[in-house]
Amino acid sequence: MPWQQLLSPQNRLPVAGLEAWYASLLERIGNPNPLQLALLGGRLAATPGLAFLAGYQGALRALWPAAPWTLGALCVTENRSTRPADMSTRISALSLDGRKDFVTAAEAADWLLVAAREEAPDQPVHLALGVVRNGAPGVRIEALPALPLMPDISHGRLHLQGAHCERLPGDGWDDYVKPFRTLEDTYVLAALGAWLFAVGEESTWPQALQLRLLGLLAGCAEMARQCPNSVASHLLLAGLFAQFDSLRGELDSAFAAGDKHWAQLWQRDKGLLSIAASARSQRLQKAQAVLGITI
């Protein structure tokens, strides 16, 4: 990671449509690795939502290194569930049929990774991961209303009807959906931390707070080197989120004492890291049980 690039003064990219903003980001930073995409994207983002987008794209590329450089999305949720047994989307002979109910940046995404069942009747549930192109025959995005949290990041519902796909190798659950939970947490934390560092630098926050944010980013860089399915990784990630949580009081005070624009953005979007808190807690408990430790 070229830390000097992160630490040097940078002009933020202007707010634009998601595709245009992401294209401008890649034009500015070149062909980054996943961590660079998250950190530098967060550093150059004008909003927490755009920082999230950079982290999300970094996580996708950590998951699928051969991903195109355009915007993508992972499509798993059906009826508010990500459990394989609750899914009805199916893949058969490289054809996808079904529906995914929550797709991040759906309208802007060029390619979509779709988790789908492929087991024969009366066999245990088994997932595969198929790739489709947005707008291809049988692929339709239904735009959904903006959410109060990160309203600048659109989301939608994916409808699939005989959509031709590329099937990625490996097990859809163990090799893709399951590790992505940890990857997304890691890279989004890195991106939001970089956004906070940029705001702090511009707003001349106390040096101690800025240094602690840098320490958090360094921890994210080490976490990005770990296997996302490892129980030790789940423990390390829990440590990073505990480190971030310990800064919340200082961050709230720093925002309250500074520019109202940044304070309003933070109050609106600071809950984005709490979305998956329950799942992280469950992974931490399982990791502790496997490792035989209590923290």
- Say what percent of the chain tops pLDDT 90: 88
| Residues 181, 271 within the same domain | yes
Last residue of a domain, one of 118, 150, 167: 167
pLDDT in tens, 1-40: 678 888 888 899 999 899 999 999 999 999 899 999 999 9
Q: Which pLDDT belongs to residue 113? A: 98
What one-letter code names the amino acid at 153? I
Task: Say whether both 192 and 278 belong to one domain.
Answer: yes
| CATH code of the domain in which 130 resides | 2.40.110.10
Whether residue 142 is found in the same domain as residue 87: yes
The pLDDT of residue 295 is above 80: no
Identify whether residues 59 and 157 lie together within a single domain. no
Provide the domain count of the chain: 2
Same domain, 257 and 163: no
**Of 5 and 190, the one with more pLDDT:** 190
Are 80 and 35 found together in one domain? no
**Which pLDDT score is estimated for 2?**
72
Q: Which of 167, 197, 232 is the last residue of a domain?
A: 167
Residues paired with 157 in a beta bridge: 142
Neighbours of 11 (CB within 10 A): 7
Predicted local confidence at residue 54, as pLDDT: 98
Split at pLDDT 50, 70, 90, the class of 284 is confident
Give the model's pLDDT for residue 179.
97
Q: 167 or 286: whose pLDDT is higher? A: 167
Q: Are residues 215 and 140 in the same domain?
A: no
Look up the pTM and report it: 0.97
> Above 90 in pLDDT, residue 277?
no
199, 11, 56, 19: CA torsion to nearest 10 = 140
35 and 19 part of one domain: yes
**Tens of pLDDT, residues 80-136:** 999 999 999 999 999 999 999 999 999 999 999 999 999 998 899 999 999 999 999
Residue where a domain terminates, one of 117, 151, 167: 167
Q: How far apart are CA 138 and CA 270, in angstroms?
A: 37
Given a cut of 70, whether residue 198 has pLDDT beyond it is yes
Which of the residue ranges 69-73, 213-217, 263-267, 280-284 would you say has the lowest mean pLDDT?
A: 280-284
Q: Write out pLDDT tens, residues 216-271.
A: 999 999 999 999 999 999 999 999 999 999 999 999 999 999 999 999 999 999 99
Tokens 């609750």, residue?
86
Q: How many CB atoms lie within 10 A of CB 90?
A: 15
Same domain, 33 and 125: no
Compute the distance between CA of residue 180 and CA of residue 177 in angstroms, rounded to an integer.
5
Residues spanned by the domain of 185? 3-63+175-291
Beta strands in the chain (DSSP E): 72-75, 90-92, 95-104, 111-117, 127-133, 139-143, 155-164, 166-167
Q: How far apart are CA 114 and CA 203, in angstroms?
A: 41
Same domain? For 147 and 193 the reply is no
Q: Nearest to residue 132, comparing CAs of 107, 118, 149, 113?
A: 113
User: Are 38 and 182 in a shared domain?
Assistant: yes
Residue 1: per-residue pLDDT: 60
Per-residue pLDDT at 293: 87
pLDDT at 235: 94
Same domain, 219 and 181: yes
**Adjacent-strand bridge partners of 143:** 156
Q: How far apart are CA 48 and CA 272, in angstroms?
A: 9
- Six-digit token pair at 205? 């926050």
Q: Is the dihedral of CA 260, 261, 266, 267 positive or negative?
A: positive
Mean pLDDT along residues 282-286: 89
How many Å is the maximal CA-CA distance in the chain? Answer: 62
